[in-house]
């Protein structure tokens, strides 16, 4: 039996008449009987069209850091919407939001607002190329930087067993429709393999514009960088005059207030932010320090966007970041996340299921295998079938993780102690069901 109740099914049938496969983003399609239609969200909960309530650990793949429909964010957004949103001129709310952003992420000297993660990684890549006069970009296997052509290679959705030798990695194209010429401009490497990065730079460092990296693998089990990896990337970029881009779309305002830069103590030239900075509203930023970000100049390197810095988006960002600046939301998330990680490892340990809890409390994953993974290639050993069976059994009991283990559990500050306890009870029942 699928996840859809009768009303949800009715709405999904209706959705399919207008939206391709009934969705607006490919990752939301779970097949004919399991794709849900959501009526609303509040705090840590979402409700489907049949009135089933779920504790939400997907949170739109990360953005909803405070909880769905946070009242302060909603009020700021309503006020901004009524004041007019789009002027093709700088507006007061935008200046205030940029100042608040910099208070939270002090390494950033300048930024430009935009709307989505895809847009800002695209801008960062162009900026790096324009600044260095070079074309090649390095990315890591299992990382996702959005849907533009330049970064759709060796993403975590593909096969971890078809990536070639780590000495000569094969960039796996993640979609049809990407021009063949683009492939020549990307180099894909295993995450955490500093030697591979050094080898590549020794042979072609002079033509590499940038390394773009999710400082932890937010799209692949939340895998963490090994000691020395991020400082090594910083050193190599400095040595070869390449730009270091931290894609903080998932880690920004979640891993720490100042994102991965604060958490790991390594400072990139450019950072890309979206998701948690707007609690679910479409707001993003390409940010940086020094001459690289300042190279955005008319007639030199282009950046633009009709909706960039619109009143609603920046009002959402300011209200969200103001709340995060109190320190309370991330402290709450840390505590709830620790309890969940400990509880989950306890349940799996008691049943003798080989596992590793990866990531951090604010975004952690459950990896089901003996060997701890350090990169995307290692994830081939994960028991995806058992993981999905546990996830589906949880959803049927009102707790909603992503059933593809690549995507971490995301936590929001609205999660109560009772929600955490319920989650652990449900997890235990789901494991029992999936292994019976
Ligand atoms: N970068 C990272 C690290 C992401 O996780 C994502 C989305 N999951 C993106 C970029 C793209 O963001 P968007 O979906 O807003 O275009």
Contact 76, 37 (CB under 8 A): no
Taking the complete model, does pTM exceed 0.75, yes or no? yes
Position 62 pLDDT exceeds 80: yes
Give the distance (Å) from ligand 1 centre to CA of residue 45: 23
Which residues, at least 6 apart from 334, have a Cβ–Cβ distance to it below 8 Å? 361, 362
Q: How far apart are CA 182 and CA 190, in angstroms?
A: 20
Position 226 pLDDT exceeds 90: yes
Position 1 pLDDT exceeds 80: no
Give the distance (Å) from ligand 1 centre to CA of residue 213: 12
Q: Which residues line ligand 1 (CB under 6 A)?
A: 61, 116-118, 121, 144-146, 214, 218-219, 247, 249-250, 274
Average pLDDT, the chain: 97
List, for residues 343-371, the tens digit of each pLDDT value: 999 999 999 999 999 999 999 999 999 99
Specify the range with the lowest mean pLDDT, choosing from 41-55, 100-114, 154-168, 388-402. Answer: 154-168
Contact 307, 325 (CB under 8 A): no
Active-site hit among 70, 247, 269, 419: 247
Query: Atom 12 (ligand 1): residue with closest C-alpha?
Result: 117
For residues 214-240, give the mean pLDDT. Answer: 98
For residues 286-313, give the mean pLDDT. Answer: 97
pLDDT at residue 170 in the model: 94
- pLDDT band for position 157 (cuts 50, 70, 90): confident
**Catalytic status, residue 144:** yes
List, for residues 168-220, the tens digit of each pLDDT value: 999 999 999 999 999 999 999 999 999 999 999 999 999 999 999 999 999 99
From 23, 60, 118, give the residue whose CB has the most ligand 1 atoms within 8 Å, as the site to mutate. Answer: 118
Q: How far apart are CA 358 and CA 355, in angstroms?
A: 9
């Amino acid at each position: 039996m699928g996840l859809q109740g009768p009303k949800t099914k009715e709405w999904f049938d209706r959705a399919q008449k207008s939206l391709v496969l009934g969705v607006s983003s490919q990752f939301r399609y779970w097949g004919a009987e399991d794709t849900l239609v959501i009526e609303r969200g509040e705090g840590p909960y979402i409700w489907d069209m049949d009135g089933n309530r779920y504790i939400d650990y997907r949170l739109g793949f990360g953005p909803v850091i405070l909880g769905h429909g946070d009242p302060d964010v909603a009020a700021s957004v309503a006020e901004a919407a009524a004041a007019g949103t789009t002027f093709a001129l700088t507006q007061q709310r935008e200046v205030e939001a940029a100042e608040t952003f910099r208070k939270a992420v002090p390494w950033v000297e300048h930024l430009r607002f935009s709307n989505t993660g895809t847009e800002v990684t695209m801008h960062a890549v162009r900026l790096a190329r324009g600044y260095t006069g070079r074309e090649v970009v390095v990315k890591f296997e299992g990382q996702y930087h959005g849907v533009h052509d330049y970064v759709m290679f060796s993403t975590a959705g593909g096969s971890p067993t078809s990536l070639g030798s780590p000495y000569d990695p094969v960039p796996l194209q993640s979609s049809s429709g990407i021009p063949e010429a683009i492939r020549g401009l990307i180099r894909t490497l295993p995450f955490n393999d500093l030697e591979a990065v050094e080898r590549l730079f020794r042979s072609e460092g002079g033509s590499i514009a940038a390394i773009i990296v999710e400082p932890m693998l937010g799209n692949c089990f939340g895998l963490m960088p090994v000691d020395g990896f991020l400082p090594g990337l910083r050193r190599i970029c400095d040595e070869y005059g390449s730009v270091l881009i931290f894609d903080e779309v998932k880690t920004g305002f979640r891993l720490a207030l100042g994102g991965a830069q604060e958490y790991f103590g390594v400072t990139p030239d450019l950072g890309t932010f979206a998701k948690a900075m707007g609690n679910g509203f479409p707001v993003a930023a390409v940010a940086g320090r020094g001459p690289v970000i300042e190279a955005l100049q008319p007639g030199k390197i282009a950046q633009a966007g009709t909706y960039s810095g619109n009143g609603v988006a920046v009002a959402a960002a300011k209200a969200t970041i103001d709340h995060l600046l109190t320190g309370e939301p991330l402290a709450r998330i840390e505590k709830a996340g620790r309890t969940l990680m400990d509880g989950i490892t306890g349940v799996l340990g008691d049943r003798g299921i080989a596992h590793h809890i990866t990531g951090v409390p604010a975004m952690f994953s459950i990896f089901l295998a003996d060997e701890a993974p350090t990169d995307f290639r290692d994830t081939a050993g994960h028991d995806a079938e058992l993981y999905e069976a546990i996830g589906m059994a949880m959803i049927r009991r009102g707790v909603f993780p992503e059933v593809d283990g690549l995507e971490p559990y995301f936590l929001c500050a609205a999660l109560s102690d009772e929600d955490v306890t319920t989650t652990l009870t449900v997890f235990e029942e789901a494991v029992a069901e999936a292994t019976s």
